[in-house]
Amino acid sequence: MTQLSPVLSIRGLRKSFTLHTIDGRTVSSLRGVDLDVHAGEHVALAGASGAGKSSLLRCVHRSYLPDSGSVRLRVDARPDGAGVELTGLADRAMARLRGREFGYVTQFLAAPPRTGPLEVVAGAARRRGLDRAAALDAAAEALRRLNLEEALWDVDCSLLSGGERQRVNLAAGTVSPPRLLLLDEPFSALDPANREAAVDLVASLAGRAVAVLAVFHDLDAMRRLASRVVLLRDGRIAREGTPDQMAEGLR
Amino acid sequence: MTSTTALLDELDTCTGPIGLLDEGAKREIRRAALTAVCVPGYQVPFGSREMPVARGWGSGGLQITLAVIGAADTVKVIDQGDDAGVNATNLRRMIASSTGCAESADTRDATVVQTRHRVPEEAMTAEHVLVYQVPVPEPLRGVQKSVAECARMHAEADYSAMWVSLYEDLVRNGMITRTTGYPVLVAGRYVMATTPIPRWDVPRLRMSEQLNLFGAGREKRIYAVPPHTEVTPLAFDDVPFEVEHAPGARCRLCGSDDVFLVEAGTRGGYLCSDTEWCARVRAGDADVDAHRERAPLDLLPDPARRAGVPPAVTTPRPRRVRPPRAAAAPEWALRVDGLGKVFGPLAGGDPGVTVAGTGPEHATAISPATGAIVAAWDVSFDVAPGEALGVIGESGSGKSTVLACIIGNELATAGEVRLAEVDGGRTEVLALAASARRLLRVDTMAVVHQNPAVGLDLRVSAGGNIAERLTAAGWRGYHDIRRRAAELLDRVEIPLTRMDDAVRTFSGGMRQRVQIAKALATDPPVVLLDEPTTGLDASVAAGVLDLLRGVLAERSVAAVVVSHDFGVIEALTDRTLVMQLGRVVEHGLTDQLFHDPHHPYTQRLVAAARR
């Protein structure tokens, strides 16, 4: 389909945890994953719980430190850009790269305490390079698009409902779109009407060349958004294909 | 038959002059006085002798007079401007009788004038030595009790505490109220106390014709202002120094209004302080016009220029111009390499032997070889502008020791510290002199301590504490300092109505906010925070944390946050070091350490932080 090198390129990724506080036992999570995600492509991870879907997202985000393997991110617009190896990147460089290139939306909102939605979303836009005024405009537009009541924009995020928080999170992840968007059950707490707006928003990102790697709990969203579905089993890729091809196995 | 008077006269002739000081003592005092002349304004210690007057009654001045006077001299002694008082008379007679010099109440005849409280109104000439009896020689005594610390402040010309006391006087009273002992800068170097003279006489020290020698017998100090020496009263650029003056006051006897006047007892009105001058004016034996030329009439109080009235035009702030970051400048603002601190004996001077067998893998920080405590070892990190680095660990893990070594409160045993601001990072900061390192803390590397009492003077107002940092950095505009302090206090949400209250009246959270404002006063490129919210109530700590997050985000400072609390580290930092038993056991992105801790110790810390 394309000659462009992928935005995200994962090779031989392994991750295990050594639990020193219990008895030093090791729990394996990813056992060698190879995966590419291209600009504008929307890859959905599927699989039973414990298959390693969230671990994979976290390894890409460097919330988890992979044991071995490679995660490369193409950070410039040149199609043949070699990209940056994230697994060995210095902490400081990774922190900067995250702010500029990544969007990461989980079920939980990682907002600093006592900050309001507008500040959270504008902060994300600032880290992606917008100036203060532009960041505030973009944040307001993103929140409006997700139907978050304006009266809540300066209310401490911890006071918001689960669905409201999730919309703040989505707005922060997608505002001034990042190069790579990681979604971990981003619609789980949304009611049907809000879910519709959120799915539309994410769908619109494909046109803006955002590479999306996502875990969905609802198949309907997956069918509508995913250009490719990757099935994980026991920390490995078991199968992949178009949503239609995969629909059989997922039911 | 011999009369009693004749008998007494006979007694006088056969006793002869009695020497109060032997020649050796005089030599020593003259030597101290010469040193004082060579280093104007510097307090020279000398071996103060017992005098036949109590210490505190002029024994210092008397010793100088006796050491410098000879039989060919003429002595005059002034006490409170008066030649005829009991003290003045007795001192004069004692000096004259023990040295054989002449005595006079006329300044024009005198060669040595010993004084308490005044410089004579008569013109002083190169023929005069003016000897002052000093009650309090140390100008810093009021702001610093420690003698050693006063000595350090003089040595480093660190007079910001003095400026703060002037600032506080202006804040409280709207004008300078200090009468005797007004601080002056002598020859651009030492701050000197002008005790015992009033402000009225301070201008007479500047570029004077006479030699001024100051003696404090009790404190055993001699200091001097030689002729033709620059003497500048300490004053803010926009609040001028002024002399004492009551509008319309005149001497009730001689009618002079250009002299230092004192209140004339219960009958009201004023009298000349200098009785000699008053008598000569009345006798027509005074050059009144020349005197008016000498009088400090240009320094009379001018209410329009006092502290309460901000000037229309502001003086430019003495902001240090930071050189633009060169292309070759390091990415970091602060870099620490292999920092180590051992408390206790080093085996054979080789830290390697001492440090062996300590650290997490040996589960101890106590050296098996020497018993020394290895508080920190091999700690390396760097911090870039706009970045906050966390250092986490339990109490005793060495985090605060690392900070103390960086700021210079502890001497590091090993390692290097560099600041991009200092010589582009080429200079090793630990090798600098202690005075140079203290200067770095003024405008290059600020510290916020866990205990606000360490970083603040609780007796001084919130604004005064900020003024201390600003005056140390060279700010000399009173209104500029007020404006900057107000701006900072407003930023840390201290109500401006509390700006002039002593910090000791503030709550713990407010004190911490003032400390943060002070740390940011000079826009330092590096800020070190040592447990900034520990010890505060949860709600107060949350407020301080929010404030810190805000100020760190809006300024491009490099911050190091030391805390045992994962919540604080998570709220403020992007990257974190984990310390245990003096070593860095793990480092990473803060959220990665929280979600995926690798080291057993970090896992324990994280498990404890999850509530």
From chain A, pick out residues whose CB is under 8 angstroms from the CB of B591: 63, 110
- Look at residue B2 in the predicted model and tell me its pLDDT: 67
Q: What distance in Å separates the CA atoms of residue B329 and residue B4, rounded to the nearest whole number?
A: 93
Q: What distance in Å separates the CA atoms of residue B172 and residue B175, rounded to the nearest whole number?
A: 8
From chain B, pick out residues whose CB is under 8 angstroms from the CB of A114: 542, 546
Strand partners, B74: B102
Q: Kindly report the three-state secondary structure assignment for every residue of B67-95.
A: HHCCCCCEEEEEECCECCCHHHHHHHHHH
- Look at residue B16 in the predicted model and tell me its pLDDT: 56
Q: What distance in Å separates the CA atoms of residue B598 and residue B581, rounded to the nearest whole number?
A: 17
Strand partners, A28: A16
- Look at residue B319 in the predicted model and tell me its pLDDT: 55
Instruction: Find out whether B150 and B112 touch, Cβ atoms under 8 Å.
Output: no
Report the pLDDT averaged over residues B525-553.
89
To 10 degrees, what angle do helices B462-472 and B478-491 make?
120
Instruction: Round the CA-based radius of gyration of chain A to a whole number and report it.
Output: 18
Catalytic, B251? Answer yes
Q: What distance in Å separates the CA atoms of residue B402 and residue B415, rounded to the nearest whole number?
A: 11
* Number of alpha helices (DSSP H) and beta strands (DSSP E) in chain A: 8, 10
Q: Which two tokens stand for residue A99?
A: 């702010």
Give the 3-state secondary structure percentages of chain A, helix then strand then coil, rounded to 5: 40, 25, 35
Q: Helix (H, G, I), strand (E, B), or coil: what is residue A9?
A: strand
Contact A65 B575 (CB under 8 A): no
Phi, psi dihedral angles at B521 (to 5 degrees): -55, -40
- Torsion angle defined by CA atoms of residues B28, B30, B32 and B36, in that order, rounded to the nearest 10 degrees: 180
| Per-chain mean pLDDT for chain B | 90
Of the listed ranges A88-97, B116-125, B215-224, B308-317, the one predicted with least confidence = B308-317
Q: Which two tokens stand for residue A177?
A: 């779109």
Q: Which two tokens stand for residue B357?
A: 């067998």
Q: What distance in Å separates the CA atoms of residue B338 and residue B180, rounded to the nearest whole number?
A: 53
Interface membership of B228 toward A (CB under 8 Å): no
Residue whose structure tokens are 């001028």: B240
B112-116 vs B74-79, strand pairing mode: parallel
**Closest Cβ–Cβ partner in B574, B592, B604 for A21:** B604
Q: Would you say residue B464 has pLDDT above 60?
A: yes
More confident residue, B309 or B569: B569
Q: Which two tokens stand for residue A67?
A: 């044991």
Q: Would you say residue B316 has pLDDT above 80?
A: no
Q: What angle do CA B324, B326, B331 make, to 5 degrees?
A: 105
Closest alpha carbon within chain B to A26: B598
How far are the Cα atoms of A240, A244, A251, B482 from residue A218, in angstroms, in the given order? Answer: 18, 15, 11, 61
The helix (run of H) or strand (run of E) holding residue B376 is strand B373-383
β strands within A65-105, DSSP E: 68-73, 84-85, 102-105
Instruction: Find out whether B76 and B61 touch, Cβ atoms under 8 Å.
Output: no
- Look at residue A237 in the predicted model and tell me its pLDDT: 95
Residues of chain A with pLDDT under 70: 1-3, 77-81, 248-251
Report the pLDDT averaged over residues B469-496.
94
pLDDT tens column, A201-230 = 999 998 888 999 999 888 888 999 999 999
From chain A, pick out residues whose CB is under 8 angstroms from the CB of B551: none
Work out the minimum CA distance from A20 to partner chain B, whole angstroms.
5
Nearest CA to B137 out of B211, B65, B190 is that of B190
Instruction: Find out whether B410 and B361 touch, Cβ atoms under 8 Å.
Output: no
Nearest CA to B530 out of B404, B383, B440 is that of B404
Q: What distance in Å separates the CA atoms of residue B393 and residue A91, rounded to the nearest whole number?
A: 19
Q: What angle do CA A154, A156, A161 make, to 5 degrees?
A: 105
From chain A, pick out residues whose CB is under 8 angstroms from the CB of B571: 112-113
Instruction: Find out whether B467 and B162 touch, Cβ atoms under 8 Å.
Output: no
Q: Which two tokens stand for residue B11?
A: 């007694």
Q: Helix (H, G, I), strand (E, B), or coil: what is residue A135?
A: helix
**Closest Cβ–Cβ partner in B549, B571, B574 for A95:** B574
- Look at residue B315 in the predicted model and tell me its pLDDT: 55
Instruction: Find out whether B569 and B390 touch, Cβ atoms under 8 Å.
Output: yes
- Look at residue A244 in the predicted model and tell me its pLDDT: 85
Report the pLDDT averaged over residues B381-397.
93
Q: Would you say residue B321 has pLDDT above 80?
A: no
Give residues with Cβ within 8 angstroms of A66, minimum separation 6: A13, A14, A15, A30, A59, A87
Q: What distance in Å separates the CA atoms of residue B466 and residue B522, rounded to the nearest whole number?
A: 9
**Closest Cβ–Cβ partner in B595, B599, B607 for A63:** B595
Query: Which DSSP string corresponds to A108-131?
Result: S--PPTT--HHHHHHHHHHHTT--
Q: Which two tokens stand for residue A35?
A: 């995966």
pLDDT tens column, B325-343 = 555 678 999 999 999 999 9
Interface membership of B546 toward A (CB under 8 Å): yes
pLDDT tens column, B192-237 = 999 889 999 999 999 999 999 999 999 999 999 999 999 999 999 9
To 10 degrees, what angle do helices A117-127 and A162-174 make?
20
The helix (run of H) or strand (run of E) holding residue B526 is strand B526-530
pLDDT tens column, A28-72 = 999 999 999 999 999 999 999 889 999 999 999 999 999 999 999
Using the Cα atoms of residue B125, residue B129, residue B132 and residue B137 in order, give the sign of their dihedral.
positive
Size of interface A-B (CB pairs under 8 A): 50
Instruction: Find out whether A108 and A185 touch, Cβ atoms under 8 Å.
Output: no
Among candidate residues B254, B390, B398, B588, the one labeled active-site is B254
- Look at residue B304 in the predicted model and tell me its pLDDT: 75
Q: Would you say residue B352 has pLDDT above 50?
A: yes
CA atoms in the 13 A half-sphere facing the CB of A114: 13
Choose the mutation target among A28, A64, A92 for the interface with B, i.e. most B CBs under 10 Å: A92
Give the 3-state secondary structure percentages of chain B, helix then strand then coil, rounded to 5: 40, 20, 45
Report the 10 Å Cβ neighbour count for A204: 13
Query: Which DSSP string corresponds to B420-434?
Result: TTTGGGTS-GGGS-H
To 10 degrees, what angle do helices A162-174 and A192-205 make?
10
B206-229: burial string, b at 16+ Cβ within 10 Å, e else: eebebbbbbbbbbbbbbbbbbeeb
pLDDT tens column, B574-596 = 999 999 999 999 999 999 999 99
First to last CA, chain A: 28
The side-by-side arrangement of strands in the sheet containing A68-73 is A25-37, A8-19, A68-73, A84-85
- Look at residue A1 in the predicted model and tell me its pLDDT: 45
Provide the residue type at A109 as one letter.
L
**Closest Cβ–Cβ partner in A19, A65, A113 for B592:** A65
Q: Would you say residue B323 has pLDDT above 60?
A: no
pLDDT tens column, B88-115 = 999 999 999 989 999 999 999 999 999 9
pLDDT tens column, B238-293 = 888 999 988 889 999 999 999 999 998 888 899 999 999 999 999 999 999 999 99
Work out the minimum CA distance from A241 to partner chain B, whole angstroms.
31
Write the DSSP symbol of residue B534: T
Q: Which two tokens stand for residue A90?
A: 């210095």
Cα A209 from chain centroid (whole Å): 15
Give residues with Cβ within 8 angstroms of B14, minimum separation 6: none
Q: What distance in Å separates the CA atoms of residue B548 and residue B542, rounded to the nearest whole number?
A: 10
